[in-house]
Chains A and B, each alone.
Chain A
Amino acid sequence: MTVTTAPDRPVTGETPLPPDTAESPGHTRPALLMMAPFLVLYLLFVIGPTLYMFLMSLFDTSLVRPGLGSFAGLRNYTEALGDAAFWASMWHTLWFTILTTPPLVILAFLLALMADRVRRGRWFFRLAFFLPYILPSAVVALIWMWMYTPELGLLSRMVTALGFAEPSWLGDPDLAMWSLALTTVWWTLGFNFVLYLAGLQDIPRELYEAASMDGAGPVQQVRRITVPMLSRTTSLVVVLQVIASLKVFDQMYIMTSGGPNFSTRPALEYIYDVSFTDFRVGYASAVSTLFFLLILAVSTVWVVLTRRQEERL
């Protein structure tokens, strides 16, 4: 889950709060009480498991045995880093990110750009593009598995009607990831579309007016005004998209089970497999930690980005 600050957040006219160290008498106890429900749950179910994960990664912990098991040192990490299956799953995650991010950013931008120019029926476009995003992944997967069904599926039939040989959408190891990416673009495009649409509405119309008077055509207007003005939104969309793509699991789990022949198994499914099929929770924790660090690195980029943008506001 990630967030960025609102561009149009009301700026408070208050005097800034006193420095961090300031403490008003009688505030500490009620403050702790009001924060307690959140902090307790946060410590128990977020911070605690994080530390527990680090700890287990140093042991041969088993899913079906109590306790941590025997101490393994860094062996779980060296095993993961030397394991072809681990690298394959990391690569599949990365490959999926590479396949999905450009279309999800560029197509969303173009569609929002066009929708911004159409005055009537904007609700319809929002509905069409955003509705899939609200669907559970399981529903999306069921619908698309039906679309991809050999011989009977709508897509297969469209392709054969055009005179091509029918592709094995999810059965061909070279094609399966593309099919999953296509489904994902359909599913999540609406989110970026809405972000871009909001960004576009913040651009003052006068800029376009002025450009028109200077004789700039629509394409020039887009290039000289829209794209630069939207750079903030774009960096946000890209980072959010990368993080979301790295966490991919649902589509693969339901549509291909990571197959055929593990060719689409992403990092999260690898973790799922080693911990809950092989019971190797210690090793899975080491893999989880590596995955955790990867996401953390990307998220840090994002935090730095938003912080910097806030300072500029």
Chain B
Amino acid sequence: MRNFRSVKAPSRIKEKAIVASLFFCAAFSVFVTISIVVILFYDSYGFFRKVSIKEFLTGTQWTPLFAEPKFGVLPLVAGTFLTTTIALMVALPVGLITAIYLSEYAPAKLREALKPILELLAAVPTVVYGYFALLFVTPLLQKFIPDLSGFNALSPGIIMGIMIVPYVSSVSEDAMRAVPMSIREGSYAMGATRLQTAIRVVVPAAFSGIAAAFIMGISRAIGETMVVAIAAGMMPNWTINPLEPVQTFTSYIVQVSLGDVPHGTLEYSTIFAVGLVLFIITLAANVVSFFLKMKFMERY
């Protein structure tokens, strides 16, 4: 009966301590968000004390490292807009067609095999994509477009687009699979083909989810760093010509960080100001995407 003595009533204090520490782990993520916000606002405060918000948002010259610095953020906005647009022009059609195929056409076994392959696209380190964009895609494109400069917005945009295909296709596919079978059967009963059902019935029914996927793709493309830092040229350029070198929010931060950024200088505070703009844009996109996703989950 030796074992009886070792069976103790579980201690309440121990259980409570465990619950408390688990709660701490969960709540920690909120601390992370709060510290991101605090750090970004606190460190860009120094910048906005010296530069007016109006000059920052409307100036068309971004030369913070020159002897006579200019702090108009619009060239970075143009560069980010340009690379993101090109990426989306690749990612949206490819992602949507892939999602339609996986959800409406592919047999279950093929779908299970194709999904991990697609996920591999997102797993490739972005610095490798950067190498590929600069030293493979750009020379290839130059054979077709002779006046394409060595650094440009086009090739990183294309590569980024393919990179974000899995993000777009997986959320779109979830949304399409959430459309009840009875709606499809109704369409088939009217004599529609799979393609007609997919385009006229399933896609409109899954619209909120597909929109969420698109907005998430936008957010990914805006925040992507290494591909543009390597292949887009780090040249703040107030242009919408995809053949010219540009600089994005993210690649500006990389450029400044490559030098030593001493604490408290204007140089130091510019990257936090740019980071703050980037954070606000991607945060807005993420929130919209999150609520659209909630919507398609609730409806069925």
Q: Do A and B bind each other?
A: no
